[in-house]
Amino acid sequence: MKIASILAEREVDSPYAWFRLSMSLLISMIGGVGLWSVVVILPALEADFNLARADASLPYTITMIGFAVGGILMGRMADRFGIVVPLRFGAVALALGYALSSQAETLWQFAMLQGLLIGMLGSSASFGPVISDITHWFRRRRGIAVAVGASGSYLAGTVWPPVVQYFVDTQGWRDTHMIIAGICLCTLLPLSAALRERSPRASVQETGTSAAPVPESYENALPRPAVQGLLLVAGISCCVAMAMPQVHIVAYCGDLGYGTARGAEMLSLMLATGIVSRLLFGWIADKIGALPTLVLSSVMQGLSLLLFLPFTGLFSLYAVSALFGLAQGGIVPTYALIVRRVFPAAEAGTRVGLVLSATLLGMALGGWMSGKIYDLTLSYDAAFLNGVGWNLLNISVAVFLWFQLDRRRPLRAIGTA
């Protein structure tokens, strides 16, 4: 009886699953520093290495490319060995990456250390693999659970930018990187122990042996490779649009004369409201489905992105930044939900990693592209319009998938939910 009781505590939708989710959120928040510190120090890099805006954006682009590749690698590692192995590997890589990059003497040294150690081998372990792990532990509330887990990267964007900006202003960016290295090593390694329990077996939990309702899945509406490819296109396009304000808001505020500290505050506000957005859209996804939620969030992102063009006052930028965060936060988590409806559970780490990596490639492309457009035009107006165009592509793909997958009667999943 005691053994059965202990095992029951480790079941899907159990109190342990919610505890595990809270630990995953904390780990994702800390490990997500790699996504945002390079954004905050962009002006400092520009001054230190005497760079053009596009060149100063290059470390972010390389970091995101590394993060994208690492998401696939770490997802496969999590599928094979469990979540703890990539988390501990990533913690060491993060600490090493920040310590070594603080000593970089050239832009390329800094960019490669950011891309390889911080992006590919470090922060990537706390994003895609964590989200895919969460999907194994929830059925009834999978939408909101994934939304909570995916909020870790936005929570990182809320907490880290003002902290990093403070230390950059008082200590310089190099000492700031050493401080971050110490924080990552001393927190992520102990926290990873909370996730040592292996995920429940999909064959037991999702084949009808339980009386609990099983999430719906869609079979043969589109070939699985086609769904995977369309999700990759959707991930890239939505995040090219998303990258414009997220990557360049700090520099944009500096250009407008408001100062980089105001830009860091707007980025923090944008990502704080993004957390609210992810939770809200996660709840909506549980009610109306992932595909309609994707369309809704994408349309709202495009509309809010347009508002950056006419509203350039300080108060207006704070308001539009908050609105943009509320609009776009629901997009990325829905991809994980769609993957779990179309592909086998045993492939979750790899498949979710692929789609989330596409979103990161979109962020990388969008960050660099916006900087390049700025260098060519000396204005961010064209960069905002470029983002709107990419957002329209995302809406088109989302609507197509919605029509193709939801036009047929859903079938109960057998090992695919």
Closest by CA position to 87, among listed 116, 136, 123: 123
What confidence tens digit (pLDDT) does each residue in 19-48 have?
A: 999 999 999 999 999 988 987 888 888 888
d(CA 85, CA 416): 25
* Residue with the larger pLDDT of the pair 54 and 332: 332
d(CA 303, CA 308): 10
d(CA 358, CA 279): 22
Q: Which of 86-90, 177-181, 193-197, 396-400 has the lowest mean pLDDT?
A: 193-197
Topology annotation, domain 14-197+214-412:
Growth Hormone; Chain: A; (1.20.1250)
Q: Kindly state the helix (H) or strand (E) to which residue 358 belongs, with its residue range.
A: helix 348-377
Task: Give this prediction's pTM.
Answer: 0.71
pLDDT of residue 213: 40
Cβ 131 vs Cβ 360: under 8 Å = no
d(CA 383, CA 389): 10
pLDDT of residue 91: 95
d(CA 235, CA 231): 6
What confidence tens digit (pLDDT) does each residue in 56-83 have?
A: 778 877 887 888 889 888 888 888 888 9
Closest by CA position to 346, among listed 206, 202, 210, 218: 202
What confidence tens digit (pLDDT) does each residue in 292-312 have?
A: 999 999 999 999 999 998 888
d(CA 107, CA 51): 9
Give φ, ψ of 127 to 5 degrees: -120, -90
What confidence tens digit (pLDDT) does each residue in 135-147 have?
A: 888 888 888 888 8
Strand partners, 216: 412
Residue 219 in 3-state DSSP?
coil
Determine the average pLDDT of the residues in 198-221.
47
First and final CA of the chain: distance in angstroms?
30
b/e sequence 365-376, b meaning 16+ C-beta within 10 Å: bbbbbbbbbbee
Name the pLDDT band for 365 (thresholds 50, 70, 90).
confident
d(CA 8, CA 10): 5
User: Where does 289-347 have alpha helices with state H?
Assistant: 290-306, 314-328, 331-342
Domain residue spans of the chain: 14-197+214-412
User: Mean pLDDT, the chain, as a whole number?
Assistant: 83
pLDDT of residue 407: 58
d(CA 200, CA 163): 38
Q: Dihedral sign for Cα 335, 145, 209, 202, please.
A: positive
Burial class (CB within 10 angstroms; exposed 0-12, middle 13-18, buried 19+) of 18:
middle
Integer CA distances (angstroms), 207 to 136, 186, 415, 416, in order: 13, 41, 6, 9
